[in-house]
Structure 1
Amino acid sequence: LPLLSPARLDRARADGPAAKPEPTVLYLAYGSNLCYETFQDRRGVRPLAQVNVQVPELRLTFDLPGIPYTEPCFANTARRRADGGDNSDGGDDGGKEKEKEKGERRWTKGLVGVVYEVTSEDYAHIIATEGGGSAYHDVLVDCYPLEHGRDTVPRTHPDVPPFKAHTLFAPRQDPDDPSSGSGGRLSRPDPSYAQPSARYLKLITDGADECSLPAEYREYLGALRPYTITTQKQRLGAFIFLSLWGPFIALVFALQEAFKDSDGRSPDWLVQLSGAIFAAVWSSYDTFFHDVFGDGERTMDEHDQSDRDVCARRGPARRW
């Protein structure tokens, strides 16, 4: 793809000249949409141009709940403090400890991704394929262009003016404050606990390679540990779980496609229905499947299995 034109960048800058409504949208991708297979092949989006960027105000997270045992979580972003630190989402300290235990390197230079220029129709399609607005919010963020093919990411703001781009952001809902999140957004007790599947991580790392993101950031992505099933009980649990909930999840996706509006968004009743179904999905996991079949969010080692056996003897632990 060609690089985003300087004229289009200028029009997207906060201090740029006032302009008529643009026929195209600048969309920041950071998860599986980095990958050609997902973004262009499967979803049929045809970007017009692209540019690699750094977004210091955000950081990459994997705190959007998916489906236990199969796709435990999906990529999301979280706000960072003005001093470059991370805003706590109620589980950040636990996340640091888990990264230390697993030997994972912590990334401290903000979000790195790709801004695509897409048509308004394609952007509506992107929103529709990302849940129809049931989990993600459409927000504008400051993006700093990165030189194509560079190896490192600046620790401070790059010495170039930022421009505005749209991205999909799912703020974590505070259980004690129902107004803090959208109706369809689920939050796990520890947002840093779950690991993405190997399939999902590969889409992100493949996309980072295809887009020639900085080698330093690709090395970080490549070191992330995927969720892996390690016991026969988990395999059995995964089969039963997907057999039970798969038809309901497929129904949600079909309804989202059928009832999306011109902007790709689902009606309020469908957002609520989707939220209720996924709440039931995770409630069944927390109250039954986890204790019977094992962890469906994070890879279990021998120590984890021993701890689970002790907990099982003491009684069920509710984790929702």
Structure 2
Amino acid sequence: MSIPDYVKTWPGYIKCVYNGMMPKSELDADGYLWEFAYGSNINNKVFKQKRGLKAIQQELGIIKDWKLTMDHGGIPFAEPGFGNVQPCIGAELHGVMHQMSYEDFIKLQRTEGGGGSRPGYFPIKLKAISYEGVEREVWVFKTHLQAEESAYTHIPQFPSNRYLSIIREGAKDQGIKQDYLEFLDQYEDNDMGKKPLIYNFFKILFSLIFGSVIILLFGAGKLGILNTRMAPCLVFIYDVFFKKVAWIPREILDIKKFLQIIKGVGADQKTQKTESQKKVLYIKHGKSITKFKLRGRRYLYTFQTPDKDKANKFLQSIPATLQKVDLKSKTAKKGKK
């Protein structure tokens, strides 16, 4: 898996922006293609009603060894993360396969912000299996992040409750399998009360500034005073101020890296001094997944695994002096020194 060859050069990239990010040669004999939706587009209220897209055929399917993540950057604090996919051995990505026209596919990629910048969504071709057992080649929108080169972290990890609700509602209405519905239910959102006080404070502050900027830019655009995009302005505000002072969630993709952070060995030198202080490990046992959280002064590290044996072995490797809090039973366990 990689960024498609036709996007790697600037001429190809510019062509993708203006003419569509997939050559027409990829269409089947009937002039259609299959798109695999895993985020808000699994909800027909979004796909059909809001975006006005049409599916010639629609099937439920699975892509093996890929998982759903929420690391496509959005509006900090308000809509901090949107759906994305990452390779993950043993995982399953459930979604809705739409057979659609090339024109609707281009319309879909533009409504998703594809082609706006290199960190945007690019379609990649993967193999999916329908719930009926039919194998198909499908196009999946993926954000290619710089962070994934290290295979350790991606930021941020908490989408809004609004966005998650759209996915959960769509998955349930479409008839997605129950175990995957439970997986979606365990995803944490960006609601108040679930994050540290400093994060909630900056969320409110940024929302106020964001609202003011939106009103000013919208008004200036209507009057013809200013012709610009809102997104770069919001990103600038976030990068120069909020990113430097606000609490940031990090999901650790590698179990060895997570254990290194716990032990204070091999961690990033800039964070080692602050994160190697007193730590508390939070453990949440779900029906299909076990999640670990390690709260630091600036970061909240998380690691999750569907493998119970792997989770138990990981717990045995944790230093006995580390305080452990079971979020399910709400009881604290302090190891013996």
Deviations 1:229-250 (A, max 9, x none): 2277655533431343457679
Please name the residue that 2:103 is paired with. Answer: 121
Change (3 A) 1:74 1:164: same
Aligned equivalents of 1:68, 1:19: Cα separation in 2: 37
CA distance change for structure 1 residues 30 and 286 in 2, over 3 Å: closer, same or farther? same
Alignment of 1:106-117 (within 5 A): 108-117=90-99
Q: Where does residue 226 of structure 1 map in the other structure?
A: 189
Identify which of 190, 202, 209 aligns with 2:153: 190
The match for 1:164 is: 137
Contact 1:72 1:296 survives alignment (8 Å): no
- Residue of structure 2 in register with 1:91 after alignment: none
2-side partners of 1:25 and 1:248: how far apart? 39
Count of aligned pairs between the two proteins: 220
Alpha-carbon displacement from aligned partner over 1:241-290 (angstroms, at most 9, x marks no partner): 1343457679999xxxxxxxxxxxxxxxx99x9668636534432124x1
The alignment yields a C-alpha RMSD, in angstroms, of 3.9
- Distance (whole Å) between structure 1 residues aligned to residue 208 and residue 158 of structure 2: 22
Q: CA deviation at 1:45?
A: 1.5
2:128 equivalent among 143, 165, 169: 143
Alignment correspondent of 2:44 = 36
Q: Name 2:163's counterpart in structure 1.
A: 200
**Structure-2 separation of matches of 1:189 and 1:248:** 34
Question: Which structure has the larger Rg?
Answer: 2
Q: Which amino acid aligns with 1:125?
A: K
Q: CA deviation at 1:73?
A: 0.8
| Structure 1 residues 58 and 251: alpha-carbon distance in aligned structure 2, compared to 1, 3 A threshold | farther
Which deviates further from its counterpart, 134-143 or 224-233? 224-233
Counterpart CA distance in 1 for 2:41 and 2:47 is 5
Q: 1:26 aligns with which of 34, 40, 56?
A: 34
Q: Aligned residue for 2:258?
A: none
Q: Hey, what does 1:74 align to over in structure 2?
A: 82
Tell me the secondary structure at the aligned position of residue 175 of structure 2: coil
Greater relative contact order (CA < 8 Å, ≥ 6 in sequence): 1
User: Which residue identity lines up with residue 121 of structure 2 in the other structure?
Assistant: Y
What's the counterpart of residue 278 of structure 1?
235
Inter-partner Cα distance in structure 1 for 2:139 and 2:51: 18
Q: CA deviation at 1:170?
A: 1.0
Aligned to 2:244: 287
Taking only the aligned residue pairs, the percentage that are identical comes to 23
- Retained in 2: the 8 A contact 1:28–1:114? yes
- Give the gaps of 5 or more residues in structure 1: 1-17, 86-107, 148-159, 181-186, 254-269
Partner Cα separation in structure 1 for residue 29 and residue 207 of structure 2: 45
Q: How many angstroms apart in 2 are the aligned matches of 1:130 and 1:140?
A: 17
User: Are the counterparts in 1 of residues 121 and 143 from structure 2 also a CA contact under 8 Å?
Assistant: yes
Gaps of 5+ in 2: 1-25, 219-227, 251-279, 282-293, 300-337
Q: Deviations over 1:35-76 (max 9, x none)?
A: 122222222222222111110142111111222221121110
* Structure 2: distance between partners of 1:113 and 1:145: 9
**Structure 1 CA distance, aligned partners of 2:206 and 2:125?**
37
- Tell me the TM-score normalized by structure 2: 0.54
Change (3 A) 1:114 1:249: farther
Quote the Cα distance in structure 2 between the aligned partners of 1:296 and 1:42.
32
In the alignment, structure 1 residue 130 sits paired with structure 2 residue 112: yes
Distance in 2, Cα, partners of 1:137 & 1:38: 20
Q: Which amino acid aligns with 1:244?
A: I
Query: Is the Cα contact below 8 Å between 1:61 and 1:76 reproduced in 2?
Result: yes
Q: TM-score, normalised by structure 1?
A: 0.57
Partner of 1:242: 207
- Going from structure 1 to structure 2, the CA distance change for 1:20 and 1:120 (only over 3 Å counts) comes to closer
* Structure with the largest fraction of strand: 2
